[in-house]
Structure 1
Amino acid sequence: MEIAKKITLLFAILSAIIISLLSGFVWYFANDFAFEDFYKRLEARVRISAQLKLYQDVNNPAYAKMRNQYLERLPSEQAFIFEANSPRPKNIDSGLPQSFYKKIRAGLMSRYRVENHFYAGKSFKINNKDYLVIISANDPVGFRELKDLQHILIIGFFLSVFLSFVVGWRFSNYMLMPLRKIIKSVKKIKAENLHMRLEVKQGSDEMSQLAETFNNMLNRLETAFETQNNFISNASHELRTPLTIISGEVELALKAANDTEKQTIALAKIKDEAERLEHILTSLLGLAQSGFNGKNQPREAVRMDELLWEIKGSVNQVYPNSKIEIDLDKLPDDEQLLTLRVNKNLIKLAITNIVSNACKYSNGKSVNIALESNGNTISVAVTDQGIGIPQTDIQHIFEPFYRASNTNNYKGYGVGLPLSLNIIRLHRGSIAIKSQEGIGTEIKVLLPLMF
């Protein structure tokens, strides 16, 4: 069963229960009020009948006149007055229970009803004799009103349930409309258009969270697909070159069996290409692993200022002559604004690659690392005074194994920045780059504070 139908059915059932309880309360109190009013009219006639029939005083004519002028005779009204110890009159209803008479003998006003026929009675003591005064009458108007009310409540119940079903159906469709839009949008996303994203409306409701969750998943999927495509497209090309060189050098070494110098040169070349092949394989593996976001990448709270000092120490070991300066002038007072929940090893690797490139292409010039937090985002800006990047190469700089045209004199494989980009994207961050050839490069890493 569809969710909309389930919601509608549940809404209708709950509405039916509430309406039935409300109708029951209305019926109970209306029934009680209608009977209470008629009983009071009977009780008034019991007292007046007692004054007219039992008490012999000067007021009897006044009571009789009041009775005839102001109290209308009720439908089927009958008055029964008899001594308590004498047999009951034959014309009185024999169906009156003993509890009715027992309450009368106790000196209380007693009531009883059979369908639409009402009884009220009380005992009076006159001249040391007990008399029972019982008045009976029908109440066709009140009974008919209750019947009409019963019909109205029954019709209203079914009409209300029907309306609640219609309203519930429209309400469920309205509430599930954003979900249907999300499903429709997700169905359009395929392997060839993973760049598409769902529209996330302002707010923090469940639908917005669901759309944002889908977008995060699509980010990871797009990264994984790009990694896979890059791996397949570049692995064959990048691995073929060192393998071809190794194969050629092995043939030269075999032909120069008697020439030790040529064999030494060939073996050295084989060693260099083997090391290059190892670096390429390691880089490809890193790219492949950075395209996934599984449980093997645990996250922890990391102070970014402390991490930058660790990165500085690591890079200084590789480039001893590098001049790395860490700018902490814009740090906030609250330490929580410097703490991210990330995979420390991956984030350290991503920023280390950027800082290492800055040191490598700066030729010993100063490299500045600036840390800043604006409350929602932490930014790490790495600025160097190196060779810079030609404008025609900037758009390709994050492609695996792509190297700028002015880096031929520097050793590298073109995987550092693509690997950093993958890692930053896995942490829902972004990288911005600004460079001018011959002047320097600035790469800014932006990471969301809440992750």
Structure 2
Amino acid sequence: MEIAKKITLLFAILSAIIISLLSGFVWYFANDFAFEDFYKRLEARVKITAQIKLYEDENNKAYAQMRNQYLERLPAERAFIIEANPKKNNSLKADIVLPKTFVQSINSGKTARYRIENHFYAGKYFKIGNKDYIVIVSANDPFGFRELKDLQKILIIGFFLSVVLSFWVGWRFSNYMLMPLRNIIKSVKRIKAENLHLRLDVKKGSDEMSQLAETFNNMLNRLETAFETQNNFISNASHELRTPLTIISGEVELAIKSNQDPAKQQLALNKIKDEADRLEHILTSLLGLAQSGFNGKNQPWEEVRMDELLWEIKESVHQVHPDSIIDIDLSRLPENEELLTARVNKNLIKLAISNIVSNACKYSNYKPVHVLIENTGNTISVAVTDQGIGIPQTDVQHIFEPFFRASNTNDYKGYGVGLPLSLNIIRLHRGSIAIKSQEGIGTEIKILLPHSGWLFTSS
């Protein structure tokens, strides 16, 4: 069932319940008021009848005259005076046998009331000398009863008309409120892979529809970026893989033709080995990029002291770059060691930081590299600072793109996959990377990771 129909149906049901409750209240109080007024008129006649018929008073004739002259006679009005018999008090017979509750109410000294359809009874106990009497007056109330019947019809007709009206209003209201949602659905249906640049029209305001449209636009921004990154990645990867394969193919042909010249053959074989190593490195990096794009749920996570991990990274970088000088600064360590503990995939995070430290050593021509670790509130900060060639300002915004290399790195061997890989791994760990560089002076890359305590409380 469509949302508009559900809203309309729910609105109609709630309206019907509210209207029925309101009608019930109106009927109850109108019924009570109409009967109460007529009963009081009967009770007044009970007292007058008792005064005229039971009490010996010189004014009785005047009472009777005033009663006949000024007090209207009710339809089917009748008065009954019954001598009370204490031994037979279980029932009273006027024009009908009145119920026991009526008799019990009279015997207790109260004014009793009783009604059958439109015929009303009122009675009261009187003690005159040594005798006990019960005076009962009965009459019909055609006008009040007819008014209640008319009110009942009006309430029933009004109920059904109100339900129909509420259904129509609910239908119009739900369609009006859901129109922005239908527009969003139509706009989203028009967006496909080939026109991801299209965006939804976001109305001014902070209502849920505006938030939904803005959320869709943010999702489309991420999708468009992902598609562009994927296209660029495929294009660059195919180019980077084709280059060493082309060189290997050419060198193999050269080696085959130079079977009489061992020196040329050896040179070609060495070139083939270098390009094969390069191809292996590129494939390994591509595999790392792919793995770092996982959601992390199926990968092993553990608690790792980041300051201890830095010493392992220093040792692994020394194995690749024996001439590197890495200075680990522990001067800002917090007293609480938990503030330096992060829940990470140790192999991946080690690879990410190793890439950054290794680049710092390589592009600084093995000048000292400073690594500072500290806790900044909810995060662990690892800042890697070198004194190398720096990055041109025009290239800084592109260094995290796969296979991109800065314009001043031609003299250095590399493939442009280390930093993108590191960024993917850091994002996988809910962290971020900040970079500050000046050409000819050096570069500082800061890695920010959430420590374990903050990660657990926030999740």
Please, what TM-score do these two structures have when normalized by structure 1? 0.77
SS at match of 1:49: helix
Match of 1:47 in 2: 47
CA distance in 2, matches of 1:302, 1:197: 43
Give the alignment's Cα RMSD to 1 decimal. 4.5
- 1:14-29 equivalences in 2 (<5 Å): 14-29=14-29
SS at match of 2:389: coil
User: Does residue 1:406 correspond to 2:405, yes or no?
Assistant: no
Equivalent of residue 278 in structure 1, options 280, 292, 305 = 280
CA distance in 2, matches of 1:342, 1:294: 10
Match of 1:153 in 2: 155
Moved more, 323-332 or 404-413: 323-332
CA distance in 2, matches of 1:151, 1:341: 73
Equivalent of residue 139 in structure 2, options 137, 140, 147 = 137
Moved more, 275-284 or 255-264: 255-264
CA distance in 1, matches of 2:244, 2:185: 48
- Whether the 8 Å CA contact 1:249–1:267 is kept in 2: the answer is yes
Identity of matched residues, %:
80
> How far has the Cα of 1:244 moved from its partner?
2.5
Amino acid at match of 2:401: E
1:104–1:296 distance in 2 versus 1, CA, 3 Å: closer
- Whether the 8 Å CA contact 1:223–1:422 is kept in 2: the answer is no
> How far has the Cα of 1:327 moved from its partner?
7.2
Amino acid at match of 1:3: I
Equivalent of residue 438 in structure 2, options 428, 436, 439 = 436
> How far has the Cα of 1:277 moved from its partner?
1.0
Work out the number of aligned pairs and report it. 444
CA distance in 2, matches of 1:166, 1:332: 69
SS at match of 1:280: helix
- 1:53-68 equivalences in 2 (<5 Å): 53-57=53-57, 60=60, 64=64, 67=67
Amino acid at match of 2:31: N
> How far has the Cα of 1:113 moved from its partner?
1.9
CA distance in 1, matches of 2:317, 2:210: 42
Equivalent of residue 322 in structure 1, options 296, 314, 325 = 325
SS at match of 1:438: coil
Match of 1:36 in 2: 36
Please, what TM-score do these two structures have when normalized by structure 2? 0.76
Tell me the alpha carbon deviations over residues 262-310 of structure 1, each in whole angstroms, 9 at most, x when there is no partner. 4444333322221111111112223334445474357777776676666
CA distance in 1, matches of 2:129, 2:23: 51
> How far has the Cα of 1:3 moved from its partner?
1.0
- 1:381-396 equivalences in 2 (<5 Å): 381-396=383-398
Equivalent of residue 191 in structure 1, options 190, 193, 198 = 193
CA distance in 2, matches of 1:255, 1:216: 58
- Whether the 8 Å CA contact 1:83–1:131 is kept in 2: the answer is yes
Tell me the alpha carbon deviations over residues 141-179 of structure 1, each in whole angstroms, 9 at most, x when there is no partner. 433443454344335434543554455446545664664
Moved more, 127-136 or 242-251: 127-136
- Whether the 8 Å CA contact 2:237–2:403 is kept in 1: the answer is no
Tell me the alpha carbon deviations over residues 114-162 of structure 1, each in whole angstroms, 9 at most, x when there is no partner. 3332112245454655544221223344334434543443354345435
Match of 1:11 in 2: 11
> How far has the Cα of 1:6 moved from its partner?
0.7
> How far has the Cα of 1:410 moved from its partner?
1.7
1:413–1:105 distance in 2 versus 1, CA, 3 Å: closer
Task: List alignment gaps of at least 5 residues for structure 1.
Answer: none
Tell me the alpha carbon deviations over residues 328-369 of structure 1, each in whole angstroms, 9 at most, x when there is no partner. 759799967x77776665555444433332222122234345
